[in-house]
Amino acid sequence: MPKNLGKAGARNAGLDYASGEYIGFLDSDDWLDLNFFDELYKIAVGSSADIVKGGMKNADANSDVFYDISLNHKIKKNKAYFTTQFCTAIYKASFIRDNGLKFPLGILIGADVVFLQRAVFYTDNIELFNDVYYYYNNNPFSMISSLTAEKQNSWLNAIETALDFLNNQQKIDENFYKIQYREHFNALLSLVNRINLESQKKKIAIAAIEKFNLCKCKKDCINQRISKILQKQDVDIFLSEFGNAKSFTDTFVPEIIIDSNILQTKKLYLFGAGRTSVKFLEQIKKNGWVLTAFLSTDESQKEFQGYPVLKLETVINNRMRDFFIIIASRIYAFEMQVILENAGLKEGMDFFGY
């Protein structure tokens, strides 16, 4: 390239040069199963799908342990959950070109979020395959807190662009809007404790208040506690609640607070089986508590960290209520809390939330 246009420019150039029937993407520090593209292409040929998505595992730079972080079980329920993991899929070249899909050049980091949102919005022809994996290299040195202000602003721009796209559609499926707005708005909130500079935090706070005001379904898209704070329309109040951490790692998971008497009569479960739940498990062991099992909405997952993984319904439908659940996901905490509250459970008495 005559000028560095970032990933977006490089990917757009690749799209212009590519002559294949389907196109895949691989970031420079990640890797794949050797048969990854082969298996996805077989499905693509058989189904003529616009998008075929495989699985994803997190490869922690400090460990040989890989965590399955695939979104496939959620995407199977609604395509709107496909907001990240864009590299885990192949895309029909004619579909990309017919819909004018490109990576926006003004966004150095996060252009894939914009590309993926458009791709998912314009098709219902998505196939999922769970038996091959893309390995995401979770490099702590690439954390957003260590990026330049320009790149941090770019990340914020990507999320704002995704939210604006939802609000600007004349015709949009209600569930698609709710899920996507919730996913991207939660990503926006997560930036507050992933960035160190106070000036940058204020930009995020201003953006959060603006996008809260524009949201068409606040009750279904935004956590009630967060809504009460944002309703005050005050940046300083917002930051006092969300911006006290020195870095993202300081608030990767909160301290678990449970009434000491609860666990004497109730079994303990972790709702979620991924990177965040490992951090919660460390707290559980440190406190001397006994974990019974992990809970998941993914029926294919049977074991995690040496513990069984049970279907969520098998526990929350127990009329005895002899359980206490810790929500163990930073990204999907709000969604999980809604599920538990809809089941008649009360925070503090039956579960611990963020």
Last residue of a domain, one of 224, 250, 276: 250
126 and 191 fall within a common domain: no
Residue 267 lies in a domain: yes
Residue 1 lies in a domain: no
Query: Angle at Cα 30 formed by Cα 138 and Cα 132, nearest 5°?
Result: 105
Question: Does residue 251 contact residue 245 with C-beta atoms inside 8 Å?
Answer: yes
125 and 194 fall within a common domain: no
Query: Rounded CA gap, 260 and 87, in Å?
Result: 44
Burial class (CB in 10 A: 0-12, 13-18, 19+), 334: buried
Query: Rounded CA gap, 120 and 163, in Å?
Result: 14
303 and 285 fall within a common domain: yes
pLDDT at 60: 66
Residue 209 lies in a domain: yes
Last residue of a domain, one of 220, 250, 280: 250
Q: Which two tokens stand for residue 214?
A: 């524009």
| Residue 31 DSSP SS3 | strand
- Print the domain residue range for 166: 143-250
274 and 337 fall within a common domain: yes
pLDDT at 91: 98
pLDDT at 29: 85
Domain count, the chain: 3
192 and 267 fall within a common domain: no
Residue 322 lies in a domain: yes
The CATH number for 345's domain is 3.40.50.720
Q: What is the mean pLDDT of each run of 10 residues along the chain (354 residues)?
A: 87 95 93 97 97 89 71 91 96 97 91 97 97 84 70 92 97 95 89 81 94 93 83 91 48 70 92 83 91 86 89 87 88 73 86 80
pLDDT at 43: 98
